[in-house]
Amino acid sequence: MSVSYCAVVRLLVAGVLIVSAAVSHAEDVSPRRLLEVVDIASPTMSPDGLRVAFRVEQASVERNTYDTVWYVQALDDPLPRRVADGGAPLRDSAGGSLPAPVAWSSDGHWIYYRALIDGRIDVWRAAADGSGAVPVTLDAADVRDFSLVEGGRVLRYSAGASREAVIAAEQAEYDQGIRIDETVPVGQGLFRSGNVEGRLATQRFGNVWFDRAPLMAGTPDRWIELELATGERRALSSPVTLTNASPAPGAGVVEGDPWKSEREPHGDRIALLTRVGDGTGQMYRPDILLSMLPGTDARRAVKCVSELCTGRAITGTQWRPGHDEVLFTVTDPVQGRAQSIHRWNVETGDVFEVVRSRGLVNGGRDTAAHCGASAAALVCVTAEADRPPQLERIDLETGERHVLFNPNAALGMDLARVAPARLLRWVDAKGRQFTGQFYSARRPGDEPASLFVTYYSCTGFVRGGVGDEWPLASLAQAGISALCINAFPGYTMDPVERYGQGLAAVESVIDLLAAEGEVDRARVGMGGLSFGGETTFWAVTESDVITVASVANPVASPHYYLISSLKGEGFLTGLRDMWGLGAPSDTPERWQQLSPVFKLDRIHTPILFQHSEQEYMYALDYVIPLLRSDRADLYVFPHEPHQKFQPRHKLAVYERNVDWFRFWLQGHEDPDASKKAQYARWKQIRESLTTNSP
């Protein structure tokens, strides 16, 4: 790509997006640059297949928010056209950014999308030529879902309780006192303590595990039909089934457990993914079967039997417009979860590879997100461990790739110079194969470097592992080699085996890298969130390979059980099924085996806890003893869910983790005067651990 092209693109997005290259000098891969990567999502092709709509998202530390913008770009044009502000990103209750579906009008003049702007979620319509955007629903309630029907002349959308009703219900609870029952997430603030749809809102537990929802989220959908030309509205008497929904196949129609389905646009054929194989001891059966149902009434599905689609980790399907072909994506665990896309002709059975990548090639950060598809080409977001996202056109016949939009070009070039990643593959003592993305430290001479590892998932552009809390490239630039390890495939139901797999991956890769002279096995740090946090704690208590740790979430403990047990059978069943735990008095041996509360005497590793306000109270029965005995430090981030997302918080977490691991693994202290108290506390921990070490 030419320098002039990069300059034009940077100017194009400068009004809304601060491209990372504009705020950093060459070869500086700072935590802030990793935080401010421009993400690209939702590529969706126009009806004529000549243009693509897509959304970009970027953090703003100054305003502690995210900017999103919708673009439209012709496939033969080197420049995208900005068409609309996308509003604040919508998020799930764990903090993850939700998909942003977009629909084209049948004439290709408009795009329709949901946007949170000025405190309300409406469906907006933006002119594809960039001449303007307006909200079209203007409902008293936030729009939950929508679709275009009748050739794009009619918009159908769903909404629940009005915004006024939700706010009034919150205030009424505040005034009268909040009755605590199984729906209330005790352990976090009870009044407007969760970040929901752009505002602080009161929350209740949803239907899935610890999923949260706003008050009145259970209000049934109201479906409205809107004539776009006249503005006339009609309330629909029955719920609407969106056109992309696919019915589950009947018993005996297809082998295996249903997983995913994709209906052919403007047709009755359905692509199916089902789980097959022996799933003993696993949450899911291990293999994936790709098949096609010729129609909703078909009695038997057609299987894909080619070598290219059997025994493969297929994670998604979509139909090629105007063809008898299903496009399917393989996310290969042997290649570090790198993706490839193939096309299967459901009439002839032929399968051809379209494209193979070193990372993700789909519709965004989610491994299951779709590319935009036309009869001739795909438009995909591609990203690799050390290359930030960019938008590419891929020819479906030849596989030829062409970059359409690359707002992260400067960061990609600096990463290539400063902290390139390489895929590691190794086996443990039991012959289990693991993969990870390794960033070798910049260090003088041949002395082995210290090492940081995180364990869970390392797909696409790897910033800081799951939850994005440990800036791997920044650690490597600072002289600490960094490794993101992909968890062993599948989900083993026995937690001792599950955590043991993670510990075996860590121990075996340390042996490998130490034998090669890459790392010093006496200076190894580890960090993780969610399953990664659990595995980190397991490594700290069950092995002596970890020198220093950082954990971002609570793990099983009696206090966690006490608070969560109010939720009732949904929690109790999950705890039994996934951890084998009942009440502490009922399963005392299992609790002693799994919980750090009963292993405090084994912990001689300094631990940094950076928890969300929503979760930190679950961990206090083991964190407080560690704090009081000078073995840990704790920071809590207000109004954050499981995955922190506020840019200032994320930057603080990134930078403190760099400081923490440099202090313990390199003896380095940042001279910034504002950090004196931080280092004084850490020196106190070091002195205590040195004095009281076994």
Residues 156-201 have pLDDT tens digits of 999 999 999 999 999 999 999 999 999 999 999 999 999 888 899 9
Mean pLDDT value of segment 600-618 = 97
Return the pLDDT at 8. Answer: 34
Q: 622-650 burial string, b = 16+ CB within 10 Å, else e?
A: bbeebbeebbbbbeebebbbbbbbbbbbb
pLDDT greater than 80 at residue 245: no
Return the pLDDT at 237. Answer: 86
Return the pLDDT at 196. Answer: 85
| Superfamily holding 254-408 | Tricorn protease N-terminal domain (2.120.10.60)
Question: 12 falls in which pLDDT band (50, 70, 90)?
Answer: very low
Return the pLDDT at 446. Answer: 83
> Which residues fall within 8 angstroms of residue 475, CB to CB, at 6 or more apart?
439, 441, 452, 481, 482, 658, 661
Question: 208 falls in which pLDDT band (50, 70, 90)?
Answer: confident
pLDDT greater than 70 at residue 14: no
pLDDT digits (tens, 9 = 90+) for 288-300: 999 999 988 888 9
pLDDT greater than 50 at residue 13: no
pLDDT digits (tens, 9 = 90+) for 130-148: 999 999 999 999 999 999 9
Return the pLDDT at 296. Answer: 82
Return the pLDDT at 27. Answer: 59
Return the pLDDT at 31. Answer: 97
Return the pLDDT at 195. Answer: 86
The answer to whether 324 and 347 have CB atoms below 8 angstroms apart is yes
For helices 558-565 and 569-579, give the axis angle rounded to 10 degrees. Answer: 150
For the chain, the distance separating the N- and C-terminal CA atoms, rounded to the nearest angstrom, is 58
Percentage of the residues of the chain whose pLDDT score is greater than 70: 95
The answer to whether 291 and 303 have CB atoms below 8 angstroms apart is yes
pLDDT greater than 80 at residue 275: yes
Question: 251 falls in which pLDDT band (50, 70, 90)?
Answer: low
- pLDDT, the chain, mean: 93
Amino acid at position 30, single letter: S
Rg (CA), the chain: 26
pLDDT digits (tens, 9 = 90+) for 478-536: 999 999 999 999 999 999 999 999 999 999 999 999 999 999 999 999 999 999 999 99
pLDDT greater than 60 at residue 244: no
Q: Sketch the domain layout of the chain as residue ranges.
A: 37-249, 254-408, 419-557+595-692, 562-594
Same fold, 254-408 and 419-557+595-692: no
For the domain bounded by 419-557+595-692, which CATH number is listed? 3.40.50.1820
pLDDT greater than 90 at residue 53: yes
In this structure, the strands spanning 421-427 and 302-303 are unpaired
The total of other beta-carbon atoms located within 10 Å of residue 72's CB is 25
Return the pLDDT at 523. Answer: 98
pLDDT greater than 90 at residue 433: yes
pTM for this entry: 0.93
pLDDT digits (tens, 9 = 90+) for 328-353: 999 999 999 999 999 999 999 999 99
Angle at 213 between CA 244 and CA 169, to 5 degrees: 120
pLDDT greater than 70 at residue 18: no
